Homo-oligomer: A and B are copies of this chain.
Amino acid sequence: MKVTALAGGIGAGKFLRGLVRAVPAEDVTVIVNVGDDILMHGLHVSPDLDSVTYWLGDAFDRERGWGRRGETFRATQELAAFDPEAAWFGLGDLDLATHLFRSRELASGATLSQVTERVCARFGVGARVLPATDDLLTTRIDAVDPASGLALDLHFQEYWVRRRATDDVKGVRFAGADAAGPAPGVLEAIREADVVVICPSNPVVSVGPVLAVPGVRAAVAARSAVVTGVSPIVGGAPLAGMADKLMPAVGMEVSAAGVARAYADLLGSWVIDEADRGLARSIGDELGVPVVVTDTVMRDDVVAEALARATLSAGN
């Protein structure tokens, strides 16, 4: 069974580990958000691509919740000695190698897709991992500084990591999206999949930028009969991240129903957590699709595998 997954960060990483236990990794294509990508001190950092790669390559630090296992932060600590403000984005020493390699390859003319393939090879990732686009697409947050009342136009990472999501969000934009094109293989992977899965990722800033690449949303909608998704919202709150702050800003209700509604044109089925069992019927009635209720809190790979199997059953 060929599976294509749309993915963001940590929720997607956990789900994908289950997915490659449920089906052979070589049958899985993951289309990953690049809206979080940022040029940091001259290096091209791709947080979601790396997160997915580290999870699938079993290099992820499950305890910390981001970055690589066995990581150290000597370069970043030393950078803080130059200027504490410069070190707001914590680049691990091992993680830095990924960014050095990526920046080097991009400067030599490689595309982000080509670099991603090489990074995946280094970590023995069996699944095919594709950036949603090889073009520049950047998630910008229109916000207001609550202290000063000043309007801010922030890179997503500035909003989330540097300023710790303390600003009032007024809107979310995907700069460059109009001029971007899907990376090679993206549309084909959606067209040829037996099941298309929308991972339990933030619908605004993880899945949103993927769907904002011209052609992608239409390609997914054309396959809606086999499109399924897992709600990242459980009991009215995200399991990780800041979806609860961003969803209201774009008019989404922070609930398993709110996320489903954002994908209304795309879904053939929808998977929600036991905690939201009470919403199953109303979501199903509103969207006209079957709603599957199961355990979506992926404490380990075994739970993630069961969730992946339930999701694939829903989609197929």
Name A's B-contacting residues (CB within 8 A): 39, 41-44, 72, 74-79, 81-83, 86, 91, 93-94, 96-98, 100-101, 103-104, 107, 118-119, 122
Contact = CB atoms under 8 A, between A and B. Distances in A.
B83 A97 contact: no
Nearest to A78: B97
Contacts of A96: 75, 78, 93, 96
Interface of A is mostly: helix
B103 A75 contact: no
A206 to B, nearest CB: 26
Interface centre among A42, A77, A104, A118 (most CB of B within 10 A): A42
Contact of A104 (B41, B94, B97, B122): B41
Contact of A75 (B82, B86, B97): B97
Contacts of A78: 93-94, 96-98
Given A42-B42, A42-B43, A74-B74, A79 B97 contact: yes
A173 B77 CA distance: 38
B100 A41 contact: yes
18 contacts: A42-B42, A42-B103, A42-B104, A43-B43, A74-B74, A74-B94, A75-B100, A76-B97, A78-B96, A78-B97, A78-B98, A79-B97, A81-B122, A82-B122, A83-B101, A86-B100, A86-B104, A93-B96
Contacts of A72: 72, 74, 93
A212 to B, nearest CB: 27
Given A43-B41, A82-B119, A119-B82, A75 B94 contact: yes
A118 B81 CA distance: 11
A123 to B, nearest CB: 9
A200 B43 CA distance: 36
A104 to B, nearest CB: 4
Given A74-B94, A75-B97, A96-B96, A41 B82 contact: no
B107 A86 contact: no
A62 to B, nearest CB: 20
A82 B94 contact: no
Nearest to A101: B82
A225 to B, nearest CB: 40
Contacts of A98: 78, 82
A44 to B, nearest CB: 7
Contacts of A122: 81-82
Contacts of A43: 41-43, 100
A97 B81 contact: yes
Given A42-B43, A43-B42, A86 B101 contact: yes
A82 B97 contact: yes
